[in-house]
Amino acid sequence: MIPVLGYEGQKVAVLGLGRSGLATARSLKEGGAQALCWDDSVEARDAAHAEGFEIHDLSKQGAFEGVACLVVSPGIPHLYPEPNKVIALAWDAGVPVDNDIGLFFRSLGQGDWMEHDTPPRVIAVTGSNGKSTTSALIHHILTENGTPSQLAGNIGRGVLDIEPPVEGEVIVLELSSYQTDLARALTPDVAVFTNLSPDHLDRHGGMGGYFAAKRRLFAEGGPDRAVIGVDEVEGQYLANQLVEGLGDARLIRISAERKLTTGWSVFARKGFLSEWRKGRQTTSIDLRAIDGLPGAHNHQNACAAYGACRAINIAPKTIELALVSFKGLPHRSQLIGEKDGVKFVNDSKATNVDAAAKALQAFPRIRWIAGGMGKDGGIADLAPHLGAVAKAYLIGFSARDFALQLGDTPYEICETMDVAVARAAADAQAGDTVLLAPAAASFDQYPNFERRGDDFAQAVEALL
């Protein structure tokens, strides 16, 4: 674990005792602080108490007397739609509020990392879609290059739960807006912004607050290098703020929609990744045959990972070889198998319309399994992306609502995953892709999108 430094001999309150909360309590203890733990769940409190942590009701008046800091788990709202009552009490008591990401960077700055001949570095990735794939792909490239690396944050292990880094190691962090919004220290060596689309708007008070949470990764301390997706206006704005001019090598612009030939840039067009620098093309990589990176959205992820690795001077050829060997992540355009020319792809992580739209553009002819707990607006915004859909097979709570928004696209109400997979497989012809891209949350039928994706994979594997 990473010991939390700067609070030796002091009381630090921890609100929320899930994975990151318990890891934070352990790291505080390791660093010499006294962790005062609280969670609304009795089971979570009991688990912390069983590890020897002091349970301290933070919801009572006077609970913050003598407390140096409150550390909040990412799922707990601190501003919108309204502040958690414990956080409000901390504000009233003048107690600073932070999270595990802030503690990580704070401890990084005070620890013995700089005693290495080659100090460890941090690459942090944020954005609406593609964060996990981009982070995992960076980690894969580093590993294939022989560079010691750990993957943590919103993917893999909690950030304070990783091993102390060794000589020359690179820590890759996936950071959600919940994590960047509250951290009091954000000082990565390389920061990556993939893209922006509406999500978590109630938590951030609208698109402006959502973008502001992402922007903090680039504004709080500032990275040495930034890799910015410029396919949305917010990315263009952010890129413009970070540099003094086109020759500023601190910025790498990326795109999956257009050619970029000014400054240092990486873009993908028609399945080819290109790097341009100082007005000339330096690299071209054919992404079309890489099974682990199907579709334009994954080509954007490849550009982001390529840019991040180039920012720390990994050679283009090394990156290319690692891209080819990347197998993808579970539940994100994951190829489950193929039979009689029909591919079965699990993109259960496509829980919103924007992610589903990208999946629907990745394959030429689709048998689309969609549905679940639909979000505001349903799938109306997917109308321009239904051209490749031969038929939709609808499941879950919103199946009939989705059916009303499909226009002329053929559909069948299947209700459950096993029925949808069986019907799609029976209808599919050689060259088709049976695609799970729900465009909805999973909570009507499954505890999370992972379990939904596993159910799809099990049904497919039974057929195969």
Residue 410, CA atoms < 13 Å, CB-side half-sphere: 8
* Beta strands 11-15 and 251-255, pairing class: unpaired
DSSP state of 311: H
CA–CA gap between residue 172 and residue 26 (Å, rounded): 21
CA–CA gap between residue 333 and residue 154 (Å, rounded): 19
Phi, psi dihedral angles at 216 (to 5 degrees): -60, -30
The packing angle between helices 19-30 and 42-50, to 10°, is: 30
Strand order in the sheet with 334-339: 334-339, 342-346, 433-436, 366-371, 389-395, 411-415
Q: Give the residue among 283, 270, 277 at the shortest CA–CA distance from 319.
A: 283
User: Burial code of 400-416, b = ≥16 C-beta within 10 A, e = fewer?
Assistant: eebbebbeebebbebbe
Phi, psi dihedral angles at 39 (to 5 degrees): -155, 145
Q: Is 448 annotated as a binding residue?
A: no
DSSP state of 11: E
Local structure of 400: helix, strand or coil: helix
Q: Is 129 annotated as a binding residue?
A: yes
Q: Is 131 annotated as a binding residue?
A: yes
Q: Are 228 and 254 in contact (CB under 8 A)?
A: yes
Q: Is 127 annotated as a binding residue?
A: yes
Tell whether omega for the bond before 81 is within 30 degrees of 0, i.e. cis: yes
CA–CA gap between residue 27 and residue 446 (Å, rounded): 33
CA–CA gap between residue 435 and residue 399 (Å, rounded): 16
**Burial class of residue 92, CB neighbours in 10 A (0-12, 13-18, 19+):** exposed
User: Burial code of 260-272, b = ≥16 C-beta within 10 A, e = fewer?
Assistant: beebbbbbbeeee
Q: What residues pair up with 221 in beta bridges, in sequence order?
A: 186
Q: What residues pair up with 172 in beta bridges, in sequence order?
A: 123, 151
Other C-beta atoms within 10 Å of 41: how many? 11
Q: Is 128 annotated as a binding residue?
A: yes
CA–CA gap between residue 379 and residue 406 (Å, rounded): 8
Could you list the residues known to form a binding site, using ranges: 127-133
Could you list the residues known to form a binding site for ATP, using ranges: 127-133
